[in-house]
Structure 1
Amino acid sequence: MPLTLAFLLAGCGGGSEASNETAPANQQQADASPVEGKITLSPDQIASAGIQIARPTVGGGGTLELPATIEGDPQGTQVVSAAIGGRVVSLTRNLGQSVGRGDTLAVIESREAAQLKGEVEASRARLTLANSNLAREQRLFAQRVSPEQDLIAARTAAIEARIAYNQAQQQVSAAGGGGGGLNRLGIAAPVSGQVISRSVVLGQTVAADAELYRIANLSSVSLSLNLQPADAGRVKPGNLVTVTAAGRQATAKVSFVSPALDAQTRLVPVIATLDNRNMEWRVGEPVTASVQLTGSGGDGAISVPTTAVQTDEGKSVVFVRTKTGFQAVPVTLGDSSGASVIVRSGLKGTEQIATVNSFTLKAELGKSEAAED
């Protein structure tokens, strides 16, 4: 390519010729601005040299590319635990299977379950008796046979019996409920989703509060990121994140930027939310995340590919397309992230610039400057 380009650019000039009378003024201008030459190229020469042209990106602050991990949405993940200790006599779901809210996932057999259910039956019987006594006292009081004091006592006893019955029912409900027997309790799914973890096997004896299952609603998953503090300052909730993995790409949105650094890694945890209704993304899967940064220059920040920037005599330049070829324009650069860099000054954002193979233009510019010297 360099030999081919040398022939293609053989007729290119490094700038307009100057007379001896104007040479001192031009020399002063060169001293003030080391980049002054223009490169003349025809469209055919530009195409043959493989130079690609594009406009700068206006708006935003570029992107930051880094590794990330797919995780279950913390708001959609639920641990299913045993409220009482006992022996697991039934497990109705395996890993990956779908469950609905209220579905029975496991049945635990224990004496505590028998006591809880027995208390429900006993309190129901006491409530029935108290209601019967209240009805009798109401009838006797209406007939002026029983004093009002007995009616009040019967009404109080009925209220207390109902409270005790409701409390017994709530205790069974908190422990699970159902189960099919006096000494068995069923453990129900608190949310709809998929089983992502099962911690017990059939016949195992578990303690109270032992984890049985873990269920996640995977229609929405989270993207776990860890940013350097300097980068985290340019990431705000609502910024977009492009997620890429083996043949797949999707867009997530930043939902949380931690106000504190992780004590161990000294990095800033960031969470982005990713739509997963098509079940394309798996929990624990490593992916590449390209995070949209908020530019310090505001929404009008200008960014260019890093391949568009070259260095000439210690200064950064970008080659701007002209009618006759290209003009090397000095630029002041800002933050860089991934494959782009912010241009703080030197460009308006409406120019067409060389983005690919701009190094060949730098080589030709160097030859032009050497010839002038």
Structure 2
Amino acid sequence: MKIMKSDTTLASLTLALLLTACGTDQPAGNEGAPIDEPSKAGKTAHADEGQITLSEEQITSAGVRIGRPTVGGSGTLELPATIEGDPQSTQVVSAAIGGRVVSLTRNLGQSVDRGQTLAVIESREAAQLKGEVEASRARLALAESNLAREQRLFAQRVSPEQDLIAARTAATEARIAHHQAQGQVAAAGGGGGGLNRLGITAPVSGHVIARSVVLGQTVAADAELYRIANLSNVSLSLNLQPADAGRVAPGNMVQVTAPGRRALARVTFVSPALDAQTRLVPVIATLDNGEGKWRVGEPVTASVQLSGSGGDGAVRVPLTAVQTVEGKTVVFVRTRTGFQATPVTLGDNSGNDVIVRSGLKGTEQIATINSFTLKAELGKGEAAHED
């Protein structure tokens, strides 16, 4: 009997322990206050969006270098440009008549003097023009001879005055016709060495920058043969963002740089309209090329002087400081606990820097080198938050 009583007591004890365990589990699954904790953490993470917490040791080990933006200073905008011929010193040489090109005396890059023959065109029209010159010359000679005879007869009182007047009128008309025929030949080119040939001459002195025909080619009237430019002055072709064009005005200086060469140009034109295709503002600067160091079509680097408060107060940061996070352009600004990804609006590049239009005052400390490691660290934090 004692043994049975002991067994009953042990069983009761086991049951009590099981009930106690079940009672303890029930409240654990129904705690109300701790359920709100994740939502509070979510609010904190949202408030601290873009922040990265790093110690000094972590920043150093990551190789992140800290510096400050550049404010004002050079007040320049650096961008690519192209050397072009000065539009006011460029002439197109065209064929005034149609025909076959039988002579070309100049090639690309060669110099030419004003009035020098560049090409000879052979055609029937040339023969007609030159033939009219010869015919008008003969008629003028006859009219002048008749005038001289009538003057002599009138002086001898043999011929009446009206015959003298008629002879004088005929000579004047013949002279006008001859001058007209010569003018037509001169307008077409003149010379050429034969009755059916006309020479095309250079209207200005300069260098041949384009040749559109080959020997033996048949050309129509007004077809372009050559393009001549006086390259003592050349133009610099630039394209600016509309916001930057407002800080550039005629008279601003432009430093032109190419391998082994450097010179100064001056802005002469800022277009009041955007280019229809590029949506940029065309700008032209004039560059002295008396020594012939600059070639048409050559790509160069131009540092454009900015005017007004926009240039003197421009904020610039290194290109290595700029990153893109979730489609936004950001710069990592140093805080007491690490960095803050600060959205910025950028302008044009200025050498190894880029102009910041908005988002920075210029007094901040920013990550200038290895900022991509901060971007990666920010991505890790956002991924952990999503989990």
Please classify the TM superposition score into its range, dividing by the shorter chain length: 0.5 to 0.7
Partner of residue 133 from structure 1, selected from 132, 146, 165: 146
Partner of residue 280 from structure 1, selected from 293, 317, 322: 293
Give 1:145 deviation, angstroms: 2.5
TM-score scaled by length of structure 1: 0.66
Partner of residue 82 from structure 1, selected from 95, 104, 113: 95
- Find the aligned partners of 1:263 and 1:336 in 2 and give their Cα distance: 20
**Where does residue 131 of structure 2 map in the other structure?**
118
Give 1:286 deviation, angstroms: 1.3
Alpha carbons of structure 1 residues 115 and 214: separation in structure 2 relative to 1, 3 Å: same
Give 1:191 deviation, angstroms: 1.2
**Where does residue 159 of structure 1 map in the other structure?**
172
Give 1:147 deviation, angstroms: 2.3
**Where does residue 172 of structure 1 map in the other structure?**
185
**Where does residue 270 of structure 1 map in the other structure?**
283
Give 1:358 deviation, angstroms: 10
- Find the aligned partners of 1:120 and 1:88 in 2 and give their Cα distance: 22
Structure of greater Rg: 2
**Where does residue 61 of structure 2 map in the other structure?**
none
Partner of residue 205 from structure 2, selected from 185, 192, 198: 192
Deviations 1:267-321 (A, max 9, x none): 21111111112222111111111111111379xx4668757xx96669xxxxxxx
The gaps in structure 2 that reach 5 residues or longer are 1-65, 319-331, 337-346, 370-387
Partner of residue 104 from structure 2, selected from 53, 67, 91: 91
- Find the aligned partners of 2:356 and 2:161 in 1 and give their Cα distance: 88
**Where does residue 245 of structure 2 map in the other structure?**
232
The gaps in structure 1 that reach 5 residues or longer are 1-50, 315-334, 348-352, 360-373
**Where does residue 5 of structure 1 map in the other structure?**
none
- Find the aligned partners of 1:295 and 1:341 in 2 and give their Cα distance: 15
**Where does residue 231 of structure 2 map in the other structure?**
218
CA contact (8 A) 1:80 1:190 kept: yes
Alpha carbons of structure 1 residues 340 and 210: separation in structure 2 relative to 1, 3 Å: closer
- Find the aligned partners of 1:142 and 1:305 in 2 and give their Cα distance: 95
CA contact (8 A) 2:317 2:356 kept: no
CA contact (8 A) 1:303 1:340 kept: no
Which residue identity is paired with 2:113? Answer: G
Higher helix proportion (structure 1 or 2): 2
TM-score scaled by length of structure 2: 0.64
Alpha carbons of structure 1 residues 228 and 145: separation in structure 2 relative to 1, 3 Å: same
Tell me the number of residue pairs that the alignment of Structure 1 and Structure 2 aligns: 280
- Find the aligned partners of 1:191 and 1:295 in 2 and give their Cα distance: 40
Deviations 1:64-117 (A, max 9, x none): 111111111111111111111111111111111111111111111111111111
**Where does residue 3 of structure 2 map in the other structure?**
none
**Where does residue 261 of structure 2 map in the other structure?**
248
- Find the aligned partners of 2:220 and 2:298 in 1 and give their Cα distance: 32
CA contact (8 A) 1:224 1:269 kept: yes
CA contact (8 A) 1:63 1:337 kept: no
Which residue identity is paired with 2:194? Answer: G
Q: How does 1:291-310 map to 2 (within 5 A)?
A: 291-296=304-309, 301=312, 306=317
CA contact (8 A) 2:79 2:349 kept: no
Which residue identity is paired with 1:62? Answer: G
Alpha carbons of structure 1 residues 259 and 217: separation in structure 2 relative to 1, 3 Å: same
Runs of 4+ residues deviating >3 angstroms:
55-58, 301-307, 310-314, 339-343
**Where does residue 181 of structure 1 map in the other structure?**
194
Give 1:215 deviation, angstroms: 1.4
Which residue identity is paired with 1:237? Answer: P
Alpha carbons of structure 1 residues 285 and 255: separation in structure 2 relative to 1, 3 Å: same
CA contact (8 A) 1:62 1:337 kept: no
Which residue identity is paired with 1:233? Answer: G
Which residue identity is paired with 1:271? Answer: I
**Where does residue 382 of structure 2 map in the other structure?**
none
Alpha carbons of structure 1 residues 204 and 69: separation in structure 2 relative to 1, 3 Å: same
